[in-house]
Every structure is written in C-alpha cells, then in structure tokens.
C-alpha cells in the first residue's frame, strides 16, 4: 500500500524507500501544538494501526514551497507517518488531508485537518479621507495588512486638552465624522487586535474654517500690497509732474501780463519863442 501526504499539486519525486509498515484501517488527525508564525513542531497526521506487519514501498512527494520544510516526525517503522512543518507562515493556512489507500478495500479512507497559523497584527496604517474644514464630513481609516486571525479594530478619541470623549462609532476599519467643527479637533487612536497581539496607530485632526487657506490668502495679500505700492508710486510721480507743469504755466502767465516799464525824459518848459525874461 502507498501512503501519500497530499500537500500540493506541484510535486517532485523523492527516492523510493522500503519500510516495514502495518496494515492500517483508520486515519486520525490531531494538532499537538498551537501554531505561531515562524515556529515549528506541528504533527498533522497520525496513523493508528493494527498489529499486522507487512513490507511495502512508499514514495514521498514534496509540493512547491515545502522542500526542506517537511519531514517525518514519527517512527515510520511502527506505522506513525506524522509530519512536521517548519517555519510556518500564513501561506501554510489551508486544509490538509491524510489518506489511507487499501489495495483491496476501496474506497480510500481520508481525514482532513484545517491548519490556521496565528500571526499578530502588523502596525496599522491610519489615514484621514476628506477635507478638515467646518461643516465637512471626513472618514478615518485604519488597517493592518497582516494578521491571523483577522484583526478587530477599536477607536478612542481625546480632545485638544487630552481628555477622553465619546465617539458614536468605536469599532471597524473606518469611522465617519459628520458636520465637523472645532470641537472635532483632537487625537484619534486606532487599535488592531487579535488573539496573538495588538498594535495601534494615532492621528491628529485639526479642523479649520473654510476660508482659512493660508498659502492662498498670503499670496493674495502679498499681491494686493505690491499693487498698492506700485499705484502709489505712479500717483506720486503723476502728481509731481502735474505740480511742475502748473508752476511753469503760472510763471509764464505772470511774465506775459506784467506791464513794461518805460523811461521818460523830462520835456523842456513851455514859453514863447524868442522871448527872454529881462534880467
């Protein structure tokens, strides 16, 4: 009879070996240890036997990814073909089957086992979705990309004075905050937990007025100030030029209307010609 651990469809053949095995009539699956990621020592299949010994050939096929990670941990000579998987990961999760094929006694007897590798949650990634302005609706998200079993997420919140406050929703990968205001500002902590361990992340939410766009308004104010300065310089130059033109025009008018000064010489005194006053 052949004993073939069904580990994968993608296999390669190992050298054939000869072992004294018993005639088996029952296959029982047991887990002997709790399985944690990276640890070893799991017995997947045990064969309970009757004490009727025979010599049989058996062949071992290793599925892809199981080379150098699987070996028989029991005494094959006594009919124990338990196996040990080393360095288990989440990729080893699945259903394993132990089958017993009796050549003259169909159908094949099979027992199955579900392997569930336990992995602590990875540090969750937290994000704020939406615009943190008055009156808006935002979503806070939290997710661990690793963890087996699937982590459970819980939320806590503290105000800006670091005082705890009540949230309407405290569980789930995402919570929604509607019609946010200054009272919504504060600290939010998400904890990712499973039976192996827990991790957390925190984020700060700062709610601002809708008009408070510092970069935009700083640019607008700067541009307005520059425009005022330029207009002031132009106005000053125009006024100075107008004043100079007015002064020149007034001076020209004064020069034009000022009466000319004539030099008059005294005329000789009047009298009869040829008349002389006697001495």
Domain of residue 177, CATH code: 2.60.40.10
- Same domain, yes or no: 108 and 157: no
- Same domain, yes or no: 107 and 150: no
**Domain contains 274:** no
- Same domain, yes or no: 17 and 90: yes
- Same domain, yes or no: 151 and 93: no
Query: What is the per-residue pLDDT across 125-158, written as a single tens digit (0 to 9) for each?
Result: 999 999 999 999 999 999 999 998 999 999 999 9
Domain range for 145 is 125-205
Of 63, 82, 115, the residue that ends a domain is: 115
CA separation for the pair 196, 35 (Å, rounded): 11
Question: Which residue matches tokens 């935002």?
Answer: 138
Cβ(91)–Cβ(8) below 8 Å:
no
- Same domain, yes or no: 147 and 90: no
Q: How confident is the model at residue 170 (pLDDT cuts 50, 70, 90)?
A: very high
Of 95, 115, 135, the residue that ends a domain is: 115
- Same domain, yes or no: 15 and 106: yes
Of 205, 220, 247, the residue that ends a domain is: 205
**Domain contains 225:** no
Query: What is the per-residue pLDDT across 178-226, written as a single tens digit (0 to 9) for each?
Result: 999 999 999 999 999 999 999 999 999 999 988 655 666 677 888 888 8
**Domain contains 146:** yes
**Domain contains 183:** yes
**Domain contains 228:** no
Query: What is the per-residue pLDDT across 46-67, written as a single tens digit (0 to 9) for each?
Result: 444 444 455 556 677 778 888 8
Domains of the chain: total:
2
SS (H, E, C) the chain: CCCCCECCCCEEECCCEEEEEEEEEEEECCCCCCCECCCCCCECCEEEEEEEEEEEEECCEEECCCCCCEEECCCHHHCCCCEEECCCCHHHCEEEEEEECCCCCCCCEEEEEEECCEECCCCCEEEEECCCECCCCEEEEEECCCCECCCEEEEEEECCCCCEECCCCCECCEEEECCCCHHHCEEEEEEEECCCCEEEEEEEECCECCCCCHHHHHHHHHHHHHHHHHHHHHHHHHHHHHHHHHHHHHHHHHHHHCCCCCCCCCCCCCCCCCCCCCC
């Amino acid at each position: 009879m052949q004993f073939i651990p069904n580990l994968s469809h993608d296999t390669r053949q190992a050298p054939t070996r000869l072992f004294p095995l018993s005639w088996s009539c029952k296959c029982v699956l047991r887990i002997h240890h709790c399985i944690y990621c990276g640890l070893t020592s799991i017995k997947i299949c045990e064969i309970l036997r009757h004490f009727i010994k025979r010599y049989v050939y058996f062949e071992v096929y290793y599925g892809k990814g199981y080379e150098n990670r699987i070996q028989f941990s029991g005494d094959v000579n006594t009919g124990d073909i338990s196996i040990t998987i080393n360095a288990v990961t989440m990729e080893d999760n699945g259903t394993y089957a132990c089958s017993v094929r009796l050549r003259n006694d169909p159908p094949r007897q099979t027992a199955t086992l579900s392997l569930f590798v336990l992995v602590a949650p990875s540090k969750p990634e937290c994000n704020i979705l939406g615009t943190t302005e008055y009156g808006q609706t935002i979503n806070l998200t939290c997710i661990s990309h690793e963890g087996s079993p699937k982590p459970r997420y819980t939320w806590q919140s503290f105000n800006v004075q670091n005082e705890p406050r009540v949230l309407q929703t405290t569980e789930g990968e995402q919570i929604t905050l509607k019609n946010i205001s200054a009272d919504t500002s504060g600290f939010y902590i998400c904890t990712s937990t499973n039976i192996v361990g827990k991790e957390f992340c925190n984020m700060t939410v700062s709610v601002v007025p809708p008009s408070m766009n510092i970069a935009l308004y700083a640019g607008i104010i700067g541009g307005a100030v520059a425009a005022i300065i330029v207009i002031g310089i132009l106005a000053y130059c125009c006024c100075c030029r107008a004043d100079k033109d007015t002064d020149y025009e007034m001076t020209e008018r004064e020069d034009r209307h000022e009466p000319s000064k004539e030099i008059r010489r005294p005329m000789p005194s009047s009298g009869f010609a040829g008349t002389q006053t006697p001495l």
